[in-house]
Structure 1
Amino acid sequence: MKMINLFEEGSFNEIAFKTLLVHDSENFKILNFNFKAGQDLPVHSHDIDGEVSIVVLEGTGVFLAADDKTLPARPGDVLVCPIKTPHGVRATTDMRVLVTIAPPI
């Protein structure tokens, strides 16, 4: 068993978003991304089978998709999609998200 407090462990950086590896196993990977306002994880995809979930813990922004489409991203919102589907995140305010990838990459 392992416990991490993301609000204590995860930090922010003015230059680039910060990543904290929360968990990594053969079954899934959990990452915490902390974005300062205006930072983003550009739209991307992975050519493998699997799924990704992105949970907004704090702050606001948008989930990014193909063809410049966006969806609002507020605390409590969860985006789930195949990892082959183009996805990304842009922060409007300082923003913390929790990303789960299964199986891990």
Structure 2
Amino acid sequence: MLLIDEMKANLPITAHASRDLSKTLIANGFDVTPEKELKILNVVESGEEGGIACFLDLPENFVVSLTLLRVGPDHPLHDKIFAYQKKRIRSIFRSKGLGSKRMKQIFQQEK
């Protein structure tokens, strides 16, 4: 079964914004800290460019990439989601010519 299908079968999924997403949202006037619990209400495949997009339970109808969200280690899909995120971020970094050192820094910050 594909990850997106497994996610759909487990909706809603509790998640938290990554630090980068939180900083961007706060800078734009939204109260979304990394500690704030969010719910993924729906997921769609947005192609090679966008990956898995998540519809969140915010009044502003946010849709964000799964790579910008963190799912708790107790969630049954945590390991699969984390593996997807790591692979996706690695692919994005390679396409932009960025190194693995920066990618490791990002994953260390999120722990």
* TM-score of the pair, normalised by structure 1: 0.29
Higher helix residue share: 2
Higher relative contact order (CA 8 A, sep 6+): 1
Higher strand residue share: 1
The higher radius of gyration belongs to 2
